[in-house]
Amino acid sequence: MRPARTGNVVTLAAVSAIGYLGFLAGPPLIGGLAEVTSLHLATAPEVASVTGDYFIARRPRRPSRAAREPARAEWLWAESERLLAPWL
What amino acid is encoded at 82 in this protein? Answer: R
What amino acid is encoded at 48 in this protein? Answer: A
pLDDT one-digit tens code per residue, 51-75: 888 888 888 999 889 888 999 989 9
Side-chain-side CA neighbours of 83 within 13 Å: the count stands at 8
pLDDT one-digit tens code per residue, 17-60: 555 555 444 555 455 667 788 888 889 999 999 888 888 888 89
The domain locations on the chain are 7-87
